[in-house]
Amino acid sequence: MAYSAQTLDISGDRQSGQDVRTQNVTACQAVANIVKSSLGPVGLDKMLVDDIGDVTITNDGATILRMLEVEHPAAKVLVELAELQDREVGDGTTSVVIIAAELLKGANELVRHKIHPTSIISGYRLAMREACKYVEEKLAVKVDKLGKDSLINCAKTSMSSKLIADDSDFFANMVVEAVQAVKMTNVRGEIRYPIKGINLLKAHGKSAKDSYLLKGYALNTGRAAQGMPLRVAPARIACLDFNLQKTKMQMGVQVLVNDPRELERIRQREADMTKERIQKLLSAGANVVLTSKGIDDMALKYFVEAGAIAVRRVRKEDLRHVAKATGATVVSTFADMEGEETFEPSFLGHADEVVEERIADDDVIMVKGTKTSSSVSLILRGANDFMLDEMERALHDALCIVKRTLESSTVVAGGGAVEAALCVYLEYLATTLGSREQLAIAQFAESLLVIPKVLANNAAKDSSDLVSKLRSCHYLAQTKADKKHLSSMGLDLSKGTVRNNLEAGVIEPAMSKVKIIQFATEAAITILRIDDMIRLVKDESQNDE
C-alpha cells in the first residue's frame, strides 16, 4: 500500500500512493476555499496585499489566483486553469476552480474505497462528454428568440457578482453598445467582435454613473508640444516603434577625431539625421505621428512647423490597436533592402480626425472614424483607484461574455440551473451503466451541485433546502413531458426561492458553461493521475565551488 515519505538514493524525498493524492486534494481545496466566498451576486471581495504593499481589492477569480503566489505544484494547475478560462471565455473563473476542486475531492473518496484512478478518470471523461452534449442539445436556448435584451441580461448576470452590480442596468447597456460598435466581418465572411478594439480608460473623479462611451480610440497621453494643433482632419497616421531622438553611436563604437572642428560636424550630422527622418515622415503625408519611444525636444519644432500632431510614449498595446483600426503598419526601422532610409505612404493609417480632448484632469488623444474596423472607448469614472480597477475587471468580463453570446448565439439559465439539471441527468445516466464507471459518474453529478450550494451559502440562505427544491424541479422537468418549462429553474438569491431564471433574465452563454465543465474535468484528471511525487533537494555542494 502507500508508502510514506521515503529517502531516495538521489538527493530528495518521495511520496507515493494515497499520501500524495490526499496532499494534492487538500492543496486544491485550500485554493478553492479562498475564491469560494466570492461566487455569486452576494459574494464578498478579497483584499490582497503584495510584498511591496500594493493593495488589490477584487472578487474576480482569475485576478485573485494570479496575485496569490501558490507554492504547491498541484494547486498551480488550478491557477493556470483559472487563467485559461479567463482567456477563453473571460468569465466563470471562480466556478471552474470550485468545480475542479470538488471533482478531485470526490475522486479521492472513491480511491479510498478501492476504486482504481483509471476507472474514475474514464468515468469523469464520459460524464464530461455527456454533460456538454446535454447542455448544448437540451438546455441551450437560441439568442434569436430573446433579442437584444438577452445580451443586456448576459452582461448584467456577469456583473451581478461585481462591485458595479447596483448600476448594472446602466453598464450593461454601455457594454452591449460597445461590443456591437466593433462588429466586423473577417475574410471568411464570419461576423466577429474584436473586443480588443474597445479601450477602457480610467479617469478619477465623479461617480461610476458618469462613465460614458466615446466613439473612437482614446490614448491616455497628450500632444508632445503645446504648439501643435488640437485637431487634425482627415488624419494620416504613422505608427513608429523607435526613437526620434538624436542619433547616437552604438555602444562600443569609437570615433577617433584628429581635428576638433570635425567634432562639431559630427554633432551637426547627428541632429540632421533625425531631421531627415522627420522630413521623410512629413513628405509621405503623415500629419499624426505616434511613437512608443521618445521624441527629442529639438525635433518637435519640425512637427509644430508642419502643423502635425506628434505623440510620444504611446503604450505598445495601444499602438498596435490604432495600427489595426486605421490600417497603418507599425514601423520599427526606416532602413529598406538597399540600406537607404525610406518611409512609404502605404505605411500610413487613415482616420477621419485626431483630436486632443480633456477628460477629468488628463489630456487624451482621440482617434475617430477609423478606416478598417471601428473602435470605441469606455471612459470610466470613479472615486478611487481600487474602484476603477475593479470596474475595469468587471467590464472586461462583461465584454467577453457579450462577445461570446453574440458569436455562439446560445444561452443557458444561470443561478445554478445548469448544474442542478446536469446533476439529475447524470445520476440517472449512472444507474443505466453496468460498469464501474457508474460510481465515478454519480460522483461527478454530486460534485456539480457545489455551485448552487456555494451560491446559497454566500447569500446566507439554507443551501440544503434550496438545492433539494431545485433538484426536484429538474427531476420533474426531465421525467414529465408537461413540466419541460421547469428545466430553466434556478436560484433567486435575493429572495431565497427558486424561480425561472430564463424569464428573470439571469442567463449566461452556453459556451461558458461547456468550457467550465471541460476545463474543470481536465484539470481534475491531470491532478488525479499523479500518484508519485519526488521532490529533489538542491545540491548545496556545487554552489560552494
Does the pLDDT value for residue 338 go beyond 70?
Answer: no
The grid coordinates of residue 99 equal 468545480
Over residues 140-154, mean pLDDT: 76
* The pLDDT of residue 506: 85
500 pLDDT more than 60: yes
Quick check: 543 pLDDT over 70? no
> Where are any strands of DSSP class E within 17-82?
46-49, 55-58
Whether residue 17 has pLDDT greater than 70:
yes
Alpha-carbon gap, residue 262 to 267, rounded angstroms: 9
* Choice among 72-86, 253-267, 299-313 with the minimum mean pLDDT: 253-267
pLDDT tens digits, residue range 376-425?
888 888 888 888 888 888 888 888 888 888 887 888 888 888 888 889 88
Mean predicted confidence (pLDDT) in 439-452:
89
Which pLDDT does position 7 carry in this prediction?
A: 55
Q: What percent of the chain is modeled with pLDDT above 70?
A: 94
The residues annotated with a catalytic role in the active site are: 60, 93-94, 397
Identify the weakest region by mean pLDDT among 142-156, 242-256, 292-306: 242-256
pLDDT at 542: 56
Cis peptide bond N-terminal to 117, omega within 30: no
Task: Kindly state the average pLDDT of the residues 144-156.
Answer: 76
Name the β-bridge partners of 382.
204, 205
Res 489: pLDDT = 85
Question: Between residues 24 and 148, which one has the greater pLDDT?
Answer: 24
Strand, coil or helix: 409: coil
Of the listed ranges 9-18, 177-186, 461-470, 471-480, the one predicted with least confidence: 9-18
Q: Is the pLDDT assigned to residue 276 strictly greater than 60?
A: yes
Q: What's the CATH number of domain 217-373, 3.50.7.10, 2.40.10.10, 3.50.50.60, 2.60.120.10?
A: 3.50.7.10
Q: Are 236 and 349 in contact (CB under 8 A)?
A: yes
Please report the pLDDT score of residue 8 as a whole number: 55
311-333, pLDDT tens digit by residue?
Answer: 888 888 888 888 877 878 888 77
Q: Could you tell me the pLDDT band of residue 6, with boundaries at 50, 70 and 90?
A: low
Q: Quote the pLDDT of residue 324.
A: 79
The 10s digit of each residue's pLDDT in 369-382 is 777 667 788 888 88
Backbone angles phi, psi at 94, to 5 degrees: -70, -45
In tens, the pLDDT along 57-96 reads 888 888 888 888 888 888 888 888 888 888 888 778 888 8
Which of 331-335, 369-373, 467-471, 489-493 is predicted least confidently? Answer: 369-373
Residue in the structure block whose three cell numbers are 513608429: 240
Task: Tell me 197's DSSP state.
Answer: G
What pLDDT was estimated at residue 264? 78
Least-confidence region, from 93-97, 107-111, 166-170, 481-485: 481-485
Give CA–CA dist 103/444, Å, rounded: 6
What three-state secondary structure class fits 381? strand
Rounded-to-integer distance, Cα 472 and Cα 452, Å:
14
Q: Which grid coordinates are listed for 415?
A: 443561478
Average pLDDT, the chain: 81
